[in-house]
Amino acid sequence: MCFNLLIAGQDNNPNSTIPLSNSGGSDVRVKMSSLCPFSNSANQHDKCPVKHNECQTQTHTNEQSALHDMSTTVPAKCPFGYDSQSFKLGPLSCVICEALLFESSKSMPCSHKYCKFCISRFNDCPICGADIESIEPDVDLQNVVNRFIEGHCRIKRFPNNKDSNDAPDGHKDVVYGDISLERGAFLVQQAMRAFRAQNIESAKSRLSLCADDIRDQVDTLGSTSDLCSQLGAVLGMLGDCCRTKGDSGSAVSYYEESVSFLSKLNAKDLEVVHTLSVSLNKIGDLKYYEGDLQSARSYYVRSLDFRRNATKEYCDASSQILDVATSLAKVADVDRSLGDEKMAVSRFEEAIKCLESLKLKSDEVGLEMRKKTVLEFLNKQLEEK
């Protein structure tokens, strides 16, 4: 179903695509959102470490200060010297994927260091041009990288209780506090760089750490809106990784969990609705290619319902109207496959009416191509009626 392949990408608002061959041999393009899920909850004096073309940093709020007693907490600083402004990682990063080394390896005999996956695709060393005779793991370097990740943006503090201060041996227990903005955004940054370079296992590793960090905070602070939003976005990215690897079962599990967290949030928030509906559509796509058309349709309909409800609050939001038309086309396409031609035609016509009435503003030129692509598909479907 060429339409689902195309629209799945259109749904995402991405910067990058990774091809994935499904069981039918088609080229599925999986896209990972470029929005940093931590940008909304940042301290107003902090900068999201992801570069502008990787993370659309938004106006920061001061909500994160409520997580810690600021009178007893020192400013967050990476103990390994990571500079979030200039992204200086030196020998800890791979020059191929530009992310932290994962499964650090040496190309022999020149001994230049890369991620195992990245260098395995080359016959000559990208740095010096020497023939690669073999690739050897660099366990010591990887241990340093792992220590860097473990220590990044964690601050050392002592617990505020007199019992530990009055211990007979003078020993004080050490407590490590996570600064979720810096650590979370940093891990997402590394995951997205690895994902773009098709180093999917590296991306999964970083996102899994990020998800674990957020889960720990959920256990401590409860399911706050910020934490649910962050975890929902990260779980969706993990689903993208699994989908790219062809592991549809794990992808569906991550997307489902993402939906469960995002469903706890305000259903009138456009960003939440978009992320939630995209996850539902991705599950629908996977079910479709498995041949489970009824399940695919149910997920597409859920996505359509969320998007339609959002347009009641934001009737002038062009991107939301495009999303509704896209969902209508998806449901109609499955209706036709299930033999309900009358319902399919009705939904195709409704989607066309939505798009033809959509007047884009001068600053929405980026949506014009998407509108044109969806309209072309819809008109073609009616012609084939």
Give the residue extent of every domain in the chain.
1-30+266-385, 34-67+180-261, 90-151
The CATH code of domain 90-151 reads 3.30.40.10
Q: Any idea which architecture 1-30+266-385 has in CATH?
A: Alpha Horseshoe (1.25)
d(CA 199, CA 105): 14
Pair of tokens at residue 148: 């860097």
pLDDT value at position 257?
94
Pair of tokens at residue 74: 């020192």
Give the CA distances from residue 235 to residues 138, 224, 339, in Å, rounded to whole numbers and listed in that order: 30, 16, 35
Cβ proximity of 371 and 352 under 8 Å: no
3-state secondary structure of 88: strand
Q: Comparing C-alpha atoms, which of 180, 100, 85, 89 is closest to residue 146?
A: 100
Q: pLDDT (tens digit, 0 to 9) for every residue of the chain, 385 residues total?
A: 333 323 333 454 333 333 333 333 333 445 565 556 665 544 443 333 333 333 333 333 333 333 333 334 444 455 555 555 544 566 788 989 989 999 999 999 999 999 999 999 999 999 999 999 999 999 999 998 888 887 765 554 445 554 444 545 555 555 555 444 477 888 888 899 999 999 999 999 999 999 998 998 888 888 888 888 889 999 999 999 999 999 999 999 999 999 999 888 876 777 888 889 999 999 999 999 999 999 999 999 999 999 998 888 777 788 888 999 999 999 999 999 999 999 999 999 999 998 988 888 877 888 888 888 999 999 999 887 6
pLDDT value at position 316?
75
Instruction: Please give the full DSSP string across 258-273, using - where no structure is assigned.
Output: HHHHHTTS-TT-HHHH
Give the CA distances from residue 85 to residues 2, 51, 183, 224, 239, in Å, rounded to whole numbers and listed in that order: 42, 9, 14, 29, 29
Q: What is the pTM of this model?
A: 0.72
Q: Comparing C-alpha atoms, which of 279, 300, 296 is closest to residue 288?
A: 296
Q: Comparing C-alpha atoms, which of 328, 330, 336 is closest to residue 311?
A: 328
